[in-house]
Structure 1
Amino acid sequence: MIENVDFSGLYDVSDGDEEFLVSVLMVIEKNLMSYPNEMQDLLNANQLIDLGKKAHKLKSSIAYLKHKQLEELLLFLEEGDVHSATAHQEKLNLFKEVVSNVLVEVQAKIEELD
């Protein structure tokens, strides 16, 4: 089942300021476009601790989207060297799929508000 983004957290934080909302969404969009590849590069280099740090860094902005599956995947990836590289690759592949769906929703919301 594909889970949708819940933008209510962002609306709460923005307190009706659509300009602020769009700016936050644009930062999230930028991160969603770059982080999966950066995380893959870290995994390819077997830098699992740095992969965990990168996942942790993304987790805070993703929390605003209230997307449980994305949050759970980031929690797993955040654990760095606790899991095998193979397990990380499986979760990272799923993460990339989920990110592409979330990115479509984020971009649509930016278009709607812009």
Structure 2
Amino acid sequence: MINHVDFSGLYDVADGDEDFLVSVLMVIEKNLNEFPNQLQTHLDENDTVAFAKKAHKLKSSTAYLKHKDLETLLLFMEDGNDVEISVLQDKLDTFQQVVKVILDDVQQKIDELG
């Protein structure tokens, strides 16, 4: 079962500024929509270095979500330089399932605040 997002970390950072919160959520939403396809392209090209860098970048931009499943997958993928492509593909497939749940949560929160 995939956990849902706990937005408490974002609320702490936003310190009551809902406009800031929405803008951060929109950046996260944009990245979660774009990065999985980019990660897949890197894997398709057997470019594990670019794959790892992209995972690291996404990990940084989604850290405020404090989503353990997402964090665990991104940590594995960013250290994936010495891992077989098939293993990375399995992790990426799982990652894409997690991202769908997170995107739903993020969109609901944006709608709630907007």
Please classify the TM superposition score into its range, dividing by the shorter chain length: over 0.9
Q: TM-score by structure 2 length?
A: 0.98
DSSP-derived class of the 1:53 partner: helix
Residues 16-60 of structure 1 deviation map (CA, whole Å, 9 limit, x = unaligned) = 000000000000000000000000000000000110000000101
Task: Structure 1: state its 5+ residue gaps.
Answer: none
1:61 and 1:7 map into 2 onto residues whose CA distance is: 14
Alignment partner, residue 26 of structure 2: 26
Alignment partner, residue 96 of structure 2: 96
2:23 and 2:44 map into 1 onto residues whose CA distance is: 32
1:45 aligns with 2:45: yes
Question: Which letter does structure 2 place at the counterpart of 1:49?
Answer: V
1:44 and 1:64 map into 2 onto residues whose CA distance is: 29
Q: Is the 8 A contact 1:53 1:80 kept in 2?
A: no
Q: CA RMSD in A?
A: 0.6
Give the share of equivalent positions with the same residue, in percent: 61
Q: How many residues align?
A: 114
How far apart are 1:80 and its partner, in Å?
Answer: 3.0
